[in-house]
Structure 1
Amino acid sequence: MNRLKRIDWPAWIGTLLLIIVFRETAVWIATYFNHPELGNLMGLLSLLVVLFLWRRLHKIPARIVDTNNKIMKESAFAFLPISAGSLLMLTHMGNKIPAFLVVLFLSTLLPLWLYAKIAKRWL
């Protein structure tokens, strides 16, 4: 019970609402323009821009930064089922694996690395 008292519930709820509202709004706008697949990326980039502009004018509260760090650490486990499914898919690809890995590297790892560098420097 003592651990529950240490959780900053308003910061958690505010951070999650911020993420959800930006993502859902971006998906809604992207769907309106017939490209719902761009919604997640658009939401991520728009949240990054808003936080960057907010940081220029004000300081981002430490409570929000701490909560975001905890969410990022804990959400890594959400990717385990996806990883297992990807491994099963890879076993059925055969000789197409190298091309798939190149596309995966270029389209996933590099943008995530670039986003992390930008976020670390600007936020």
Structure 2
Amino acid sequence: MDWIKTLDWKAWVGTVALIIIFREGAVWLMGQFNHPELGNLVGLLSLLAVLLLWRKFKHLPARMIDTNNKIMKESAFAFLPISAGSLLMLMHMGKEIPLFLTVLVVSTLIPLWVYAKISKTWL
């Protein structure tokens, strides 16, 4: 339980709050355009754009980078229920499968690939 005492709680709360605010704001914004399914992608891209602009003028805090790295490592288990739900949905979609797979690739794989490339370059 020593890890609880050494955890940088301010960095964790700040980083998680930043992610949630951008995501929920983007979902709300895209809901105004009747496309809330694009909220995750728009949130990811807008957060990336803000962090790129921030980095151009100031350095990102090391605490934020460390917290983000830990979140990315520990969040792999979050994709298991999503994958199971996607497989169940695929069985009931019929003709809409190609469109669903296109949205899935665009909103998941491409942003993760871009994030990996940027992380490899900068970190």
TM-score, normalised relative to structure 1: 0.77
Structure 2 equivalent of residue 26 of structure 1: 26
CA distance in 2, matches of 1:82, 1:70: 20
Cα deviation code 1:43-74 (max 9, x no counterpart): 00000000001000110001000000010011
CA distance in 1, matches of 2:39, 2:102: 24
Amino acid aligned to 1:70: K
CA distance in 2, matches of 1:40, 1:101: 16
CA distance in 2, matches of 1:102, 1:22: 24
CA distance in 1, matches of 2:72, 2:56: 23
Q: How high is the sequence identity, in percent, across the aligned residues? A: 72
CA RMSD across the alignment? 3.0
CA distance in 2, matches of 1:106, 1:38: 10
CA distance in 2, matches of 1:57, 1:32: 32
Report 1:41-80 matches (<5 A). 41-80=41-80
Secondary structure, aligned partner of 1:59: coil
Q: Which runs of 5+ in 1 are unaligned?
A: none
CA distance in 1, matches of 2:113, 2:66: 21
Q: Which runs of 5+ in 2 are unaligned?
A: none
TM-score, normalised relative to structure 2: 0.77
Aligned residues: 122
* Paired residues of 1:52 and 1:122 also in contact (CA < 8 A): no
